[in-house]
Amino acid sequence: MNNAGYGLFGAVEQIDADKARALFDTNVLGNLTVLRATLPALRASRGRIVQISSVNGRLAWASSGLYSASKAAVELAGEALAHELAPTGAKVTIVEPGLFATEFATSLDVVPPSDAYAPTVGQFLAHFSQLPASAFGNAESVADTIMAVTAMEEPPLRLGVGTDSVEGIRESLRSRAAELDLWASFSPEPADQPA
């Protein structure tokens, strides 16, 4: 299991370069460092790579822009890795948990929003801080899911874990498909090529 998770939340404009760099160093480059060190053995053993991402690797909300971008990088690197490893028999699964009761929420770096972002970032952060304990799933269920996936002969490439993750990803996909269809006419057909 490959997991690097540092939570940084705030308005994209207000997160300084040092904080953004630290986030990507941990969530993306830290993840790649572990992969590089373990891939020779995993290829040789036809092993399983379980990349821990987040529902935020598939969607973003006000305040999650840079965190979501870091997890999206993990998602796409993992997808490419799955294609690259296909002939070796090694398998990649990207796990996308939603909200679970872990220590992650207690160690977040939150950049308070300015007045310009109070209606969006501020409102989201206030709402999030008021979520009841029942909104957070049992973290042991994520571990159980990971164990089940690693035992599969043909595991999924991506796996949303938690109802909030599955529903959030599903709604994001619907919205993206509808937007793609709405604006498809802006993509001209390729010109006919001479014979």
Residues annotated as catalytic (active site), given as ranges: 53, 67, 71
Q: Where are the beta strands (DSSP E) in the chain?
A: 8-9, 48-52, 91-97, 109-110, 158-161
- For residue 49, the cross-strand partners are 92
Q: How far is CA 108 from the centre of its chain?
A: 16
Neighbour tally for 41: CB within 10 Å: 10
φ and ψ at residue 110, rounded to 5 degrees: -115, 125
SS3 4: coil
Q: Residue 87: exposed, middle, or buried by beta-carbon count in 10 A (0-12, 13-18, 19+)? A: exposed
